[in-house]
Structure 1
Amino acid sequence: MKRLKITNDHGWTPRTLRKEERKIKNISLRQRVIAVRLVMEGYLGKDVASMLNLCRQSVAFYVSLFNEGGLDLLLDRKYPPGREPFLTPEQQQELKQTILTHTPAELGWDIASSWNTRILQSYIREHYGVDMSREGIRKLLHRM
């Protein structure tokens, strides 16, 4: 197996990388910096992988990213965009205001004096034409 090398250090030293890794809160991104620093210090890729509980190919990938674009490219994560929300931001804001300012009884939805996911599920279906699960509504309320 070929030994991993840092071909372009982009001005970083093991000491400056150690300082930088302490600032990083995201564990997976911190592991990337640690892997590159350990290779820079002379450890073999398979030893670094073993120490950090990563696969050897991941360590090699991190080193190649660092060689290509430095710390900026190493820490650049492309997250998938995720699912489109059921309600637009405007609808979410309108729903929030409705929940905060009115009771279900005032709007003719129930005799209840407070909202619950069952009542909200009916309200959202009728008012916005969107079918949401009660768990999805609970998560939406938590985010709001």
Structure 2
Amino acid sequence: MKRLKITDHHGWTPRKLRKQERKIKNAPLRQRVMAVRLVMEGSLGKEVASMVHACRQTVSHYVPLFNEGGLELLLHRDVAPLREPFLTEKQQKEIKQLVLTTTPAELDWDIASAWNTKILQSYVHHRYGISISREALRKLLH
């Protein structure tokens, strides 16, 4: 197996990286800096992985990131774009109001005296033409 190597220090020394670690409040980001610092100090990838409680492949991913773009790229985390909600705000309010004030039996939708996610799922599909999971409905109601 090939030894991990820092090819471009980008002006960082192990001492500067240790100071930077102390400033970072986010634990996973601090872990990245610590892993790079330990590799820079000469530790093997599997040793570093054990020390920072990560897998070896994760540490092997951090080193090229640092080599390519320094600390800025190492600490950069892409956030997934937010998905559009299944229901509009208006539809969500209607559903909440429906659940709070009526029963399926009162609407002649079902014989049940209380809403559950299965009944609500079929109601939403019929009313709005939207297929939504029962888990998504549960989260909406909470």
Q: What is the TM-score with the length of structure 2 in the denominator? A: 0.66
Amino acid at match of 2:128: Y
Report how far residue 20 of structure 1 moved: 3.2
Structure 1 residues 6-51: Cα deviation after superposition (integer angstroms, max 9, x where no partner): 5214588133233134x114x4x44322211222344233431343
Aligned match of 1:17: 20
Unaligned residue ranges in structure 2 (runs of 5+): none
Aligned match of 2:118: 118
Q: Distance in 2 between matches of 1:121 and 1:3?
A: 52
Amino acid at match of 2:22: K
Q: CA RMSD in A?
A: 3.4
Aligned match of 1:58: 58
Aligned match of 1:95: 95
Structure 1 residues 55-75: Cα deviation after superposition (integer angstroms, max 9, x where no partner): 2x5324312322433433223
Matches within 5 A, 1:1-144: 1=2, 4-5=5-6, 7-9=9-11, 13-21=16-24, 23-25=25-27, 27=28, 29-51=29-51, 52-55=53-56, 57-81=57-81, 85-100=85-100, 102-104=101-103, 105-110=105-110, 112-142=112-142
Unaligned residue ranges in structure 1 (runs of 5+): none
Report how far residue 95 of structure 1 moved: 1.9
Go from structure 1 to structure 2 and tell me whether the alpha carbon gap of 1:111 and 1:16 turns closer, same or farther (over 3 Å shift): same
Aligned residues: 137
Identity, % of aligned pairs? 56
Q: What is the TM-score with the length of structure 1 in the denominator? A: 0.65
Q: Distance in 2 between matches of 1:131 and 1:37?
A: 49
Q: Distance in 2 between matches of 1:117 and 1:3?
A: 51
Report how far residue 85 of structure 1 moved: 4.5
Go from structure 1 to structure 2 and tell me whether the alpha carbon gap of 1:72 and 1:120 turns closer, same or farther (over 3 Å shift): same
Go from structure 1 to structure 2 and tell me whether the alpha carbon gap of 1:18 and 1:79 turns closer, same or farther (over 3 Å shift): closer
